């Protein structure tokens, strides 16, 4: 057996060259992430938008007030970001130079625009922040540690506090603010798409509780589309204290582990992936207590990732990377359909339906 371990199948020349290129790509992908972070910090997407949607390299240099000596370096950064789909490039018919324009990806990074697409600027800044990068760099050491359950994430193990915890501001107040802005942006992106593509799940409802609904952005959009639905937002007191008291929705300060306000439906939008299976069962059990039987319209509405390759390799990879983010920064996990089914059955639910119309995410209706 030892002799076999000392030998390995020799790849062909073509395989070896491809493996070398793949090795470079996988080892250096972090530079693509840091390039995106740099573009957001420099406000390149917002600048291109303000320049009318198209900008030359000289336009960007002037608008960003960058030293002229940095122009060739900016060109190299933009070339990588074009290749990765962050920006697009056209040839200027007059000068022959390059003109950069926004893509759907960079459009959702434009800051200061009021529309249904909430800027994802802070999501990028949060997940590429040094605290998260350091936690990921410590993965090998974390795997070797024999930690008592519940096992802390690499982030918590390294920094002494979880993300989105009361202790996080004490660790780094600026990072805590960016992380919370990023979470809000991540949660609120695509609300209008949900209402357009999956609006049927809200028809016939008279009342709904949005658990961990933050400042009520989702609930207010829901009430605007369906004025007859009485919406309640449940969140921690520190969140509710800052929520707008506009009378559109009802705000309740509390903890979904202990009690959930009664309503016909309870919504958990991008909530359960932050929690372990045991904690999810506790949350779902409380939600089940808050709703009427299925024949009276009672249901849980979950908006979250359902991991699976059916949407193609790019969406599948995005889902798996989001699961790695959960592993590095939280005690939660992104789940497959089988994982979700086990949670529902353990919490006492009888059936569920998955609506796959939200890209990498799904809507799951769960029935008591």
Round to whole Å and give the CA distance between 91 and 110: 23
Mean pLDDT of 83-101: 91
Least confident of 142-151, 154-163, 185-194: 185-194
Contact 205, 264 (CB under 8 A): yes
Domain boundaries, given as residue ranges, for the chain: 13-113, 124-184, 191-367
Contact 211, 193 (CB under 8 A): no
Q: Give, in order, the Cα–Cα distances in Å from 18 to each of 10, 24, 249.
A: 14, 10, 56
131 catalytic residue (yes or no): no
Mean pLDDT of 196-217: 92
Tell me the β-bridge partners of 305: 361
Mean pLDDT of 140-162: 94
Is 0.85 topped by the overall pTM?
yes
Using the predicted structure, report yes or no on whether residue 1 has a pLDDT greater than 50.
no
Report the chain's terminal Cα–Cα distance, integer Å: 55
Q: Give, in order, the Cα–Cα distances in Å from 245 to each of 121, 226, 252.
A: 27, 19, 11
Six-digit token string for 215 = 């400042």
CATH topology of domain 13-113: Arc Repressor Mutant, subunit A (1.10.10)
Fold agreement (13-113, 191-367):
no
Using the predicted structure, report yes or no on whether residue 116 has a pLDDT greater than 70.
no
Mean pLDDT of 264-292: 96
Six-digit token string for 338 = 């089988």
Per annotation, catalytic residue among 117, 118, 131, 273: 273
Round to whole Å and give the CA distance between 223 and 228: 7
Cα dihedral value 135, 119, 358, 86, nearest 10: -80
Beta 361-367 vs 351-358: how paired, if at all? antiparallel
Using the predicted structure, report yes or no on whether residue 54 has a pLDDT greater than 90.
yes
The number of helix segments (H) and strand segments (E) in the chain equals 18, 11
Six-digit token string for 301 = 């509405």
Mean pLDDT of 12-22: 96
Percent of the chain that is helix, strand, coil (3-state, to 5): 50, 15, 35
CB atoms within 10 A of CB 170: 11
Residue 3, pLDDT score: 53
Using the predicted structure, report yes or no on whether residue 207 has a pLDDT greater than 70.
yes
CATH superfamily of 191-367: Vaccinia Virus protein VP39 (3.40.50.150)
Taking alpha carbons only, the member of 238, 220, 241 closest to residue 229 is: 220
301-321 pLDDT tens trace: 999 999 999 999 999 999 999
């Amino acid at each position: 057996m030892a002799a076999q371990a000392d030998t390995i199948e020799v790849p062909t020349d073509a395989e070896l060259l491809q493996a070398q290129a793949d090795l470079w790509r996988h080892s250096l992908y972090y530079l693509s992430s840091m390039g995106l972070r740099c573009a957001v910090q420099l406000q390149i997407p917002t600048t291109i938008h303000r320049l009318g949607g198209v900008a030359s390299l000289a336009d960007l240099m002037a608008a960003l007030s960058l030293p002229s000596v940095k122009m060739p370096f900016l060109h190299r950064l933009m070339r990588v970001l074009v290749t990765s789909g962050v920006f697009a490039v056209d040839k200027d018919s007059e000068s022959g130079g390059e003109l950069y324009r926004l893509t759907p990806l960079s459009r959702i990074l434009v800051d200061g625009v009021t529309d249904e697409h909430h800027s994802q600027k802070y999501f990028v800044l949060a997940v590429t922040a040094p605290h998260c990068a350091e936690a990921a760099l410590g993965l090998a050491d974390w795997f070797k540690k024999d930690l008592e359950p519940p096992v802390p994430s690499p982030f918590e193990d390294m920094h002494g506090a979880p993300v989105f915890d009361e202790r996080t501001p004490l660790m780094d107040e600026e990072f805590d603010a960016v992380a919370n802005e990023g979470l809000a942006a991540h949660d609120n992106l695509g609300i209008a798409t949900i209402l357009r593509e999956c609006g049927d799940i809200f028809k016939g409802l008279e009342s709904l509780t949005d658990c961990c609904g933050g400042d009520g952005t989702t609930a207010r959009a829901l009430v605007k589309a369906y004025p007859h639905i009485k919406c309640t937002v449940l969140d921690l007191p520190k969140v509710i204290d800052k929520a707008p008291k506009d009378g559109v929705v009802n705000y309740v300060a509390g903890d979904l582990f202990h009690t959930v306000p009664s309503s016909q439906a309870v919504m958990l939008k991008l909530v359960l992936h932050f929690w372990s299976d045991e904690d999810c069962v506790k949350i779902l059990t409380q939600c089940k207590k808050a709703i009427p039987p299925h024949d009276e319209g009672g249901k849980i509405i979950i908006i979250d990732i359902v991991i699976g390759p059916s949407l193609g390799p790019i969406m599948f990879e995005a889902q798996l990377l989001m699961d790695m983010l959960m592993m590095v920064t939280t005690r939660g996990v992104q789940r497959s359909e089988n994982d979700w089914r086990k949670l529902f059955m353990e919490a006492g639910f009888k059936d569920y339906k998955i609506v796959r119309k939200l890209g990498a995410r799904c809507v799951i209706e769960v029935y008591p």
